[in-house]
C-alpha cells in the first residue's frame, strides 16, 4: 500500500471519530464515552502527525520550495493538539459549552487535514522521485508502528485523567494477579495430606434431643463455633477444611428457627 492511500485511511479514521464524539454518552460504565473517544482522537492525530513527519515532511524540508509550508504545518498541528488536549482535561469550557468548543476546535482539525490533501500531497508528488516516495511510505509505516507499540501514544496522555485511570486500573490488575499467584503458590506448596483409614463409626447411644451432640435447647451457632477448626495445621487437607468452614457458616447463618425453604427465601 502506497503512502497516499495510508494517509487517506488515517484521514478517514480521524473524520469518523470527529463524527462520533458529539453523539457519544459520558459517564461511569460507558465503554465508548465522549472522554474515551476524544482521547482516541488525540492519539490518532498524534500517530498520524508522527508518520507524516517521518514520511513526507522530513524529505520536503530539504527542498527550499517546501520548507515554509512544512514549518507552517508543524506549527498548525501543535496548535490543534494543544486546543484538543485542553478540552480533554476540562480546562477550556464548562459542560454546557463543551460541544460548541469541540466544534470550534475540530474545525481547525478539518482545515489542517484539508491542507494535507490539497497542498502537501500535490507538492510531494511533484517534488519527490519514485524512489523517495517509496522510501517515504516505508518511513511512514515504521514511524506509525513505533507510536502504536509505545505505552503512551502522545506525550500528554500520561498526565491526563485518562492516563491516571489507566494507571489505576493496571495497578489493581497487577495486585489481583499477585494475590492470585500467592494463593496458587500457597495451595501448591502445602504438603499433601497422608491417607489414613477412618475407623467404622460406633453405634450412637444418644437419645432423642441430643442428635449430633446438640442438647435440647442449645443453639446450633454455639455448637458450630465450638467445632471451629482453628489455625491451619501442616499436612491438613485444605479442601476438607474449606468444606467444614462452609458448613459451620451455614449453621450460624440459618438457625433452626428459620430453616431454608425452597418456597421462601429469607435474608
Q: Does 224 lie in the same domain as 154?
A: no
Report whether pLDDT(208) > 90: no
pLDDT at 91 over 50: yes
d(CA 43, CA 150): 12
Banded pLDDT at 123 (limits 50, 70, 90)? very high
Same domain, yes or no: 40 and 163: yes
Question: Is 132 a member of any domain?
Answer: yes
Start-end of H helices in 128-197 = 130-149, 161-189
Which of 171, 198, 232 corresponds to the end of one domain?
Answer: 171
Average pLDDT of the chain, as a whole number: 74
Q: Check whether residue 123 and residue 250 sit in a common domain.
A: no
What's the first-to-final CA gap in the chain, in angstroms? 64
Query: 265 with 152, same domain?
Result: no
Residues in Cβ contact with 216 at an 8 Å cutoff, skipping those fewer than 6 apart: 209, 210
Whether 210 maps to a domain, the answer reads no
Q: Is 45 or 231 the better-scoring residue by pLDDT?
A: 45
Least confident interval from 88-97, 122-131, 166-175: 166-175
Q: Are residues 148 and 248 in the same domain?
A: no
153 shares its domain with 224: no
Are 46 and 17 in contact, with CB atoms under 8 Å apart?
no
Q: What is the pLDDT, as a whole number, of residue 228?
A: 56
Same domain, 62 and 155: yes
In a domain, 264, yes or no: yes
- Per-residue pLDDT, averaged over 146-166, amounts to 57
Give the mean pLDDT of 181-194.
Answer: 51
Distance CA 207, CA 180 (A): 48
Range 152-179 average pLDDT: 49
Q: What backbone phi and psi angles, to 5 degrees, belong to 236?
A: -75, 145
Average the pLDDT over 229-239 and give the result.
70
Which residues constitute the domain of residue 223? 217-267
pLDDT of amino acid 80: 95
Report residue 201's pLDDT band, with 50, 70 and 90 as the boundaries: low
Instruction: Choose from 42-51, 84-93, 245-254 the range with maximum mean pLDDT.
Output: 42-51
Q: Do both 162 and 222 map to the same domain?
A: no
Domain count, the chain: 2
Q: Which residue has the higher pLDDT, 116 or 35?
A: 116
The predicted model scores a pTM of 0.57
The answer to the question of residue 194 being in a domain is no
- For the stretch 58-73, pLDDT in tens is 999 999 999 999 999 9
**What span, in angstroms and rounded, lies between the C-alpha atoms of 78 and 59?**
20
Question: What percent of the chain clears pLDDT 70, i.e. is strictly above it?
Answer: 57
Among 113, 148, 171, where does a domain finish?
171
Are 84 and 45 within 8 A, CB to CB?
Answer: yes
Pairwise pLDDT comparison (176 vs 242), residue with the higher score: 242
Contact 140, 55 (CB under 8 A): yes
Q: 55 and 159 share a domain?
A: yes
Label residue 47 by pLDDT band (50, 70, 90): very high
229, 130: one domain = no
Range of lowest pLDDT (7-16, 146-155, 189-198): 189-198
**Is residue 41 a part of any domain in this protein?**
yes
Which pLDDT score is estimated for 185? 56
How far apart are the C-alpha atoms of 60 and 48, rounded to whole Å? 17
Burial of 52 (0-12, 13-18, 19+ CB in 10 A): buried
How far apart CA 70 and CA 53 sit, in angstroms, is 9
**Same-domain check for residues 105 and 227:** no
Helices 64-88 and 98-115 pack at an angle, to 10 degrees, of 160
Amino acid at each position: 500500500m502506497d503512502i497516499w492511500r495510508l494517509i487517506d485511511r488515517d484521514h478517514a479514521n480521524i473524520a469518523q471519530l470527529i463524527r462520533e464524539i458529539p453523539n457519544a454518552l459520558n459517564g461511569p460504565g460507558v465503554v465508548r464515552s465522549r472522554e474515551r473517544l476524544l482521547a482516541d482522537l488525540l492519539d490518532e492525530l498524534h500517530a498520524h502527525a508522527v508518520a507524516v513527519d517521518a514520511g513526507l515532511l522530513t524529505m520536503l524540508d530539504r527542498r527550499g520550495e517546501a520548507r515554509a509550508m512544512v514549518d507552517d504545518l508543524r506549527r498548525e498541528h501543535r496548535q490543534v493538539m494543544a486546543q484538543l488536549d485542553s478540552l480533554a482535561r476540562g480546562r477550556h469550557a464548562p459542560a454546557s459549552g463543551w460541544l460548541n468548543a469541540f466544534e470550534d476546535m475540530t474545525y481547525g482539525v478539518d482545515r489542517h487535514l484539508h491542507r494535507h490533501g490539497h497542498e502537501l500531497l500535490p507538492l510531494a508528488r511533484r517534488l519527490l522521485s519514485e524512489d523517495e516516495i517509496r522510501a517515504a511510505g516505508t518511513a511512514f509505516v515504521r514511524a506509525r508502528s513505533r507510536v502504536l507499540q509505545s505505552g503512551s501514544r502522545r506525550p500528554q496522555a500520561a498526565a491526563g485523567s485518562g492516563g491516571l485511570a489507566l494507571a489505576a486500573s493496571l495497578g489493581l490488575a497487577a495486585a489481583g494477579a499477585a494475590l492470585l499467584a500467592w494463593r496458587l503458590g500457597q495451595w501448591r506448596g502445602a504438603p499433601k495430606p497422608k491417607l489414613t483409614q477412618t475407623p467404622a463409626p460406633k453405634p450412637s447411644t444418644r437419645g432423642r434431643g441430643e442428635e449430633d451432640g446438640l442438647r435440647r435447647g442449645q443453639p446450633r451457632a454455639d455448637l458450630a463455633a465450638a467445632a471451629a477448626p482453628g489455625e491451619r495445621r501442616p499436612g491438613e487437607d485444605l479442601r476438607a477444611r474449606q468444606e467444614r468452614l462452609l458448613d459451620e457458616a451455614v449453621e450460624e447463618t440459618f438457625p433452626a428457627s428459620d430453616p431454608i425453604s425452597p418456597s421462601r427465601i429469607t435474608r
